[in-house]
Every structure is written in C-alpha cells, then in structure tokens.
Amino acid sequence: MLKAYRGPNDSDGGQAFIHQVDSVTDVSDPLLYPDVCRNFEAFDALPEAVYLIDVANASILRANQTACDELQMTLAEVCQHTVFSLQRDVLDLSHWQKIIAAIRQDSPFVFVGRHVRKDGSEFAVEVMSRFVCWQGVEYLLSIERDLSRRQAVEDELREREALLAYALNEATDGMWDWNIVSGDVFFSPQLKRILGYGPYEMPPVVDTWKNNIHPDDVEIVMTAMNSHLEGRTTRYEAEYRLANRSGQYIWVKDRGRVCQSDGQGQPVRVVGMVHNIDVHKQLEQRLRDLATIDELTELMNRRAGYSAFEQVLKLASRHKAPFCVALMDLDFFKQVNDRYGHQVGDKVLKMAADCFYQRVRSSDVLMRWGGEEFLLVMPHTELEDARTLCEALRQQLAQSLVVHNGEDISVTVSIGVTTLTAHNDSIKKLVKEADTALYRAKSLGKDRVVSF
C-alpha cells in the first residue's frame, strides 16, 4: 500500500514526500491529497494525466496540468466535474460503485474508456486506478494515458497479415478500407456477399457505398462520418439502410476508425466493419406493429388509431377545416359466429377490413374500434362527401363474400356519420354523435348510412 508522510519540518507547512512500503519500487506516481497538493511541484510536471477522485460520489478533487491540457480546461473547471461528465463510458453512480468494488478486488485496476474535452470531442484513454489514504480518508488516484499516442501498437496490428486475411474472408462482418486521398475503397469479399455481389464486382470507389445509402439516411451517416474525421468522436458509428444488388434496402450497423493520418494530423485512411442487422430491425418493426396494429384485421388498433384521431382533429380545429367521423358496425355478426364459428367470423372481419381499406383515401384514418366495429376519420371532408364515401363502403361490403364449405357468406354494415362543429370539438363528443347515428341506422332496419 502507498502512504504519504510529512517531512521532518512540519512547522513550515510540511513538504510531502512519498514512501513506498510494499515491494514495488516505482515512486513516480504522485499521491495528491487536498492539503498537500500545493506543495507537490512534481505533480504538474508529469507527462501523464493524474486525477484525485472522491470515492463516494466520483467528484474530481484535483488534477495535474497534463490532465487540464488534455481536457482543454483550467483546474477550476476540471474540479467542477465528476467522473460521469468527463468519462463517456462510466454511466452513473451504480456503475461507479461496481467499478469501485472491482478496484478493491484487483488493484491497480485498468479501465479503458473515452474522455470528453471541453469542446465535446472525445479521445480514447487507458486509466490505472488504486486507493490511497490520507489522514484516515480514502481517495482514488487515477493515472490516465492517451491511447491516441499508441501508434506503434496499431502499426504492429496492421502487420498481422494472417489475422487480417482471416477477418476479411471469414468474419461474419464485412470490412472496408477507405483511402481518403485517392477516394479508393477496398470492399472485403464478405461485405460483397452481404450485399449480394460477386468477388469481382462493386467498383472500388467511395461513391459505390455512398450512392447506395437510403436517401433518408444519407445526412445521418455523413454527419457521423464527418464528426469522426474532424476528431470530435473517437470512432464512426451509424445504423442505416443500404441497397443490395437487387435494389432492396437492408439495415446495417457500420463502424469505423481513422487508422492513418498525414504530417498535419489530417486523416488519410479509415477502416471499418459492416454488420447485417436487417433481421434484428425487422423484429423491432414487428414488435412496434404488435403495439399499434390489430393482428386480425391489420388495421390500426384502437390505441394507435385514437392517437392519430387526436392529431388530425387538432389540425382541423386549428384551421377550421371540414372534418367527419363515421362509426361502422357489421350487421348480424353474432349470428355468423354462432352458425359458422369464430374462425369463420374472423375471416368475415378480415374481409370487411380489407373492403373498407381498399376504398378509403390515404388521408383518412381507419381503425378497428372494437369487436365488429370500425371507426373512420375523414379530415378535409364535408358531411355530404363523407356520406357518399360511406355509402360506397356499404355497397362494396354487400357485394363481398366469404366462402365456407361451398357456402357463400355475406354481411352488411350500418354506418353513423357526424361532422365537426363548434359544439362537438372533442373525440368523445364526435364518437358519441356517430354512435347515436349508428343506433338510428340499426333501428331503421340496418344496412344503411345515417347522419347525426
């Protein structure tokens, strides 16, 4: 364990020095404590960044000049931070407490992460930490090394041709190597396979990649790439849609890093990996659909439809635009279930939903309201036009059939329609009026359209 002691002349303010009491003889690591930092001149002369940290709350108590220079901050600014705000990869107090526990098990403890400069840019670091005590109080002493200086290690890795050849040809991820100066890009055989190309296809230029990014994703991808090239992030990373050989878009996760710079520090070469995440994205979309789409009819469910209803109603009210709502209920549907069973009833519901969906306009909102009821929201629609559309839906359904065991099954629909006025400007009131009109249609013999 390391301990700090006062010098023999305690009365003159105390010159601190370090005594190593274990078998390690390296005493170059400075031990800084709040009441002796001012007298420890060697601290600021060290070429590596050093931090003294409060164990309990991760507050930065002191840092040397190297740390301040790397962070582009003054000492006062550094001491206003915590580990959470300076270290990108330490997430919160719970995470910090787990790191502290790990340090107690294995000290000195090495952690690799990313520090954040004053301007928000990042740089990779390796941090070695151990506990120190001063006058009965425990602190954490961390020495940080800037990994961006370790060019020699990266050069050695690039020389490992066998490993690189295996990664290029056998890894599940596709790899790319971009020469920024010439614009040439090497696409690995696996990347070409992911996109459906043969080993001698895909012109080795950057536009081969850029021109196949989905138009809606280009800005996001290029912003991420430029942020890395300009040194604001330690790596390039983006999820986006990339066209394959057949023109279909697949979701990929793309990661890369500058591996070579010129004499002025400008990047000249970037390498990266592309991972196919299309199946994962499809699953995400499926889960979202389950939350918003009625599984049987494939229309919006009531929750999602209500939200869409609310949005278009606000716009109609704000712009005083015509707006109509129709509540539709299948006639004698219970008899279909009782006679043919619920499986046939489900087919009838699906047939009705398809029938309605084919005739409504792209601006309309159609949803399954519940049971055999459907709700149709018609923005920018006068009442007479809404009645005309609903009459077309009624006639279309009357002509549609479900065949079961050689028997034709048909259903009709009763529809109640209402329009937005100054007195019914809420979803609750509009649906209530449409329901009243629907009840009137039922009482008049069903299979008809009635206005409120």
Per-residue pLDDT tens digits for 222-263:
999 999 999 999 999 999 999 988 889 999 999 999 999 998
pLDDT greater than 60 at residue 36: no
Q: What is the CA radius of gyration of the chain?
A: 34
Q: Are 32 and 12 in contact (CB under 8 A)?
A: no
Quote the CATH superfamily of domain 293-451. Answer: Reverse transcriptase/Diguanylate cyclase domain (3.30.70.270)
Q: What is the pLDDT of residue 164?
A: 62
pLDDT greater than 50 at residue 11: no
- pTM of the model as a whole: 0.43
Q: What is the pLDDT of residue 291?
A: 72
Q: What is the enclosing helix (H) or strand (E) of 242? A: strand 236-243
pLDDT greater than 70 at residue 153: no
pLDDT greater than 60 at residue 373: yes
CATH class as words, domain 152-281: alpha beta
For the chain, percent helix, then strand, then coil, each to nearest 5? 40, 30, 30
Q: Where is pLDDT greater, at 32 or 67?
A: 67
pLDDT greater than 60 at residue 407: yes
Determine the distance from the C-alpha atom of residue 379 to the mean position of all C-alpha atoms in its chain, rounded to a whole number: 33
* Coil/strand/helix, residue 212: coil
Q: What tens digit of pLDDT does each residue of 159-206 get?
A: 666 566 665 555 567 889 999 999 899 998 888 888 888 878 889 998
CATH class as words, domain 2-148: alpha beta
Q: What tens digit of pLDDT does each residue of 269-310 get?
A: 999 989 998 888 888 777 776 678 888 888 989 888 888 899
Please indicate whether the domains covering 2-148 and 152-281 agree at the CATH topology level: yes
Q: What tens digit of pLDDT does each residue of 160-173 get?
A: 665 666 655 555 67
Name the H helices within 52-205.
65-71, 75-78, 83-86, 93-105, 151-158, 161-170, 189-194
Rounded to whole angstroms, the maximal C-alpha distance in the chain is 109
Q: What tens digit of pLDDT does each residue of 440-449 get?
A: 999 999 999 9
How many other C-beta atoms can be found within 10 angstroms of the C-beta atom of residue 320? Answer: 9
Q: What is the pLDDT of residue 201?
A: 85
* Coil/strand/helix, residue 186: strand
Q: Are 188 and 174 in contact (CB under 8 A)?
A: yes
| Bond from prior residue into 30 cis (ω within 30 degrees of 0) | no
CA-CA-CA-CA torsion sign (301, 436, 400, 338) = positive
| Residue boundaries of the structural domains of the chain | 2-148, 152-281, 293-451
Q: Residue 445 is encoded by which pair of tokens?
A: 């013999």
Q: In which band, very low, low, confident or very high, does the pLDDT at 150 lie, cut at 50, 70 and 90?
A: low
Q: Residue 340 is encoded by which pair of tokens?
A: 């043919």
